[in-house]
Amino acid sequence: MQVKTLALLRVLGCLCLGLWTAVAAAVGLGEAQVIGAGLMVLPPLHAGPPPDGGANVIVLHGNRRSLIFGTGQAYRDGRQILDLVRLERLPDPYMAFIPAALPGYVFGGTALQHGGVALADTGATGDLINQRCDHCLERLRASDGDEAMAGSAVPVADVALMGEIRIDLGGRMVQVMDMGWAAVPGELALFDEATGTLVTAELVVGQGLPQLRDAHLDGWLQALDRIEALAPKRIVPGRGGVLPPSAIACTRDYLVNVGTQVRNAYARGLSLSEAENELKLPGATPDEARVHSSNVQVLYLQMEKADLGLGAR
């Protein structure tokens, strides 16, 4: 699935964009992307593949408060986000959000807490972090090295969110929404009303294919309907560049198609290996082929468990 990246809107003008980018680079966060007044996307320091690869961090502010969506993959990421807020003289952060229980979103959280910023996630995300993230941190120390992950620890959020909240940052209203069990359990999404920008974690995909290993397919499709109803003007995914609203339909099309194909293959009595061979994705890159094969396995095994009375489809 290929989705063309939407050209970034430079509402602040070239001068302001240059200043934000220069400040981000000065604290080690790489080249920032500015989307409208007061909304900046910080690309990940760690660019490895998911689930252990880095993720975007969003910093946005109004007249009175700022907000951080995502925390980075390591303690140093969280410190650099705080340095950016300080150097840019942004309003004090109201809160930082962990949008999903995947490493790229999690391990800068402790640094933000040490800097006096309250940390929030959903109960489902908090439970998953507690169950998994010790092992995630071990893997990252092994792959990135002890120096890169120095100070990193599994964070415990200060606030557990439920449902949807609307936050006034001072002349700027944002919605933070618990999307339920979609791409991952308890994923958050954010909608910035001032710019019509939707910020997601794994919910909308612009690079590669959706990954179903932690997903609830029906819940994911329902979540896509929910965010589409917001009529966003642009989407900032957890990984990669800014996307047009059509990325929602592209993500949905893949999920619907793979679900239908696996369901039909299972109903015809194909074995798992037969289904994998028959349902290969034409024109896929090696990484896309790997992800697609894994998705077929996940859905097939879910159907098999349901038939055995071990789980619902």
Tell me how far apart the alpha carbons of residues 234 and 96 are, in angstroms, rounded to a whole number.
Answer: 22
pLDDT at 313: 47
pLDDT digits 0-9 by tens, 264-289: 999 999 999 999 999 999 999 999 99
Tell me how far apart the alpha carbons of residues 96 and 226 are, in angstroms, rounded to a whole number.
Answer: 23
Residue 11 has pLDDT above 60, yes or no: no
- Summarize the confidence of residues 71-81 as an average pLDDT: 94
Structure tokens at 29: 């966060």
Tell me how far apart the alpha carbons of residues 46 and 202 are, in angstroms, rounded to a whole number.
Answer: 17
What does the DSSP 8-state code read for residue 25? H
pLDDT at 49: 54
Output 255-259 pairs: Cβ under 8 A, ≥24 positions apart.
255/210, 255/217, 255/220, 255/221, 255/224, 256/221, 258/212, 258/292, 258/295, 258/296, 258/299, 259/217, 259/299
Residue 237 and residue 56 in contact, taking contact as beta carbons nearer than 8 Å:
yes
pTM as predicted: 0.86
pLDDT band at 290 (very low <50, low <70, confident <90, very high): very high
Tell me how far apart the alpha carbons of residues 275 and 63 are, in angstroms, rounded to a whole number.
Answer: 55
